[in-house]
Amino acid sequence: MPLVSMRQVLDEAAKGGYGVGAFNVNNMEQIQSIMEAARETKSPVIIQASRGARAYSQDRFLYHLMVAATEVYPEIPTVLHLDHGNSPETCQSAIDMGFTSVMMDGSLMPDGKTPSSFEYNVEATRKVVEAAHAKGVTVEGEIGCLGGIEDGHGAGLDGLSHLTDPGQAVEFVKATGLDALAIAIGTSHGAYKFSSKPTGETLKMARLIEIHKRLPGVHLVMHGSSSVPKDLQDIINQYGGKLKPTWGVPVEEIQLGIKNGVRKINVDTDNRLAITGAIRKVFVEKPEEFDPRSYMKPAREAMKKVVALRMTQFGQAGHANDYKPLSLETMASRYAAQPVAV
Ligand SMILES: [Zn+2]
């Protein structure tokens, strides 16, 4: 089965009332971890690559690894999504490469750092929607600015200074015709999200619920939603690492989000922690080993366990075979039949 449209995967998630994890990758082992977890839990998959990941893997390597994933795991509907496209040009290059979904993050200027104006965001996102939908490709946009920095991308804000305004979100969706909307409700990128366990109050869940009430048909996206579990931090520190105490987004808050329109949940840090902990453990316990497979295999297994757990917690487990994937051509003709309102 070829790579599928994210819109279809999220539409199905909305029908079934579950969320779908979107996991970041840079290399073969991470892709294999996610696909194995998906097979084990019978889950649809969203795999995403940032600009940093595309540069690291020279783009075409990553794309062909994803094609391999669809050949080895033909029973799993698999989406390849661009995370935080910084300009319409970047999104276009991903569409040309074969990504089936792109994020146009027009909440920041193309430098990926400076918060933009609402007008700029609408114009950039609309442009991407036009080009992407013509090819059946899905578009995620963002309104409000997230905290932290991801792969060099991000304003380095504290996560609370540019929360999504619900009225503006409604206007943004109408003006752009996008498929999925990333909102800022206090989450941030990276491992150091909160200095104590956050509550629904810290996370501004009430605002998320309000946005969902005003936009019930729009698929909401939670960025920066690793839970940063203590056991994964502990393994790293036990084997010589130096992580400072930190808290992520509790799974219960994500599940509350899923009950209120969240269909895509971005997770990267948890997988990075799992991989690093497993590698450190081998280095300390078996210092005589020098075959990379001796530590990459346990790393792959550790990441698979985290991904399978998240797939179960988000509710996507068991839903891989609920539907027949539609071709991008079919998606394109559906979009053409419902042009964006001006
Ligand atoms: Zn993000």
CA of 153 to the centre of ligand 1 (A): 9
* Cα distance between residue 165 and residue 185, in whole Å: 10
Structure confidence at residue 151 (pLDDT) = 62
The pair of three-digit structure tokens given for residue 109, joined into one six-digit string: 């200027």
* Cα distance between residue 94 and residue 109, in whole Å: 19
Q: How much is the average pLDDT of 104-128?
A: 95
Structure confidence at residue 146 (pLDDT) = 81
pTM of structure:
0.96
* Cα distance between residue 124 and residue 120, in whole Å: 6
CA of 138 to the centre of ligand 1 (A): 17
Which carries the bigger pLDDT value, residue 162 or residue 278? 278
Structure confidence at residue 145 (pLDDT) = 85
Q: How much is the average pLDDT of 287-295?
A: 98
Structure confidence at residue 162 (pLDDT) = 83
CA of 29 to the centre of ligand 1 (A): 22
Structure confidence at residue 82 (pLDDT) = 98
CA of 188 to the centre of ligand 1 (A): 8
Q: Is 319 exposed, middle or buried (CB count within 10 Å of its CB: 0-12, 13-18, 19+)? A: buried
Q: How much is the average pLDDT of 276-298?
A: 98
CA of 159 to the centre of ligand 1 (A): 12
CA of 83 to the centre of ligand 1 (A): 7
Residues 99-115: tens digit of each pLDDT: 999 999 999 999 988 99
pLDDT band at 18 (very low <50, low <70, confident <90, very high): very high
Residues with CB under 5 A from ligand 1 (ion): 223
Which carries the bigger pLDDT value, residue 202 or residue 280? 280
* Cα distance between residue 93 and residue 106, in whole Å: 16
CA of 145 to the centre of ligand 1 (A): 10
Provide the mean pLDDT of the chain.
94
Structure confidence at residue 342 (pLDDT) = 44
CA of 150 to the centre of ligand 1 (A): 7
Query: Which residues have a catalytic role annotated?
Result: 83
Residues 207-223: tens digit of each pLDDT: 999 999 999 999 999 99
H/E segment holding residue 266: strand 262-267
CA of 20 to the centre of ligand 1 (A): 15
The full DSSP string for 178-193 is -SEEEE-SS-BSSS--
Indicate whether 121 pLDDT > 80.
yes
Indicate whether 241 pLDDT > 70.
yes
The pair of three-digit structure tokens given for residue 80, joined into one six-digit string: 């390849």
142-156, 185-199, 299-313: which is most confident: 299-313
CA of 84 to the centre of ligand 1 (A): 6
Residues 134-191: tens digit of each pLDDT: 999 999 999 998 877 666 667 777 667 688 999 999 999 999 999 999 999 988 888 8
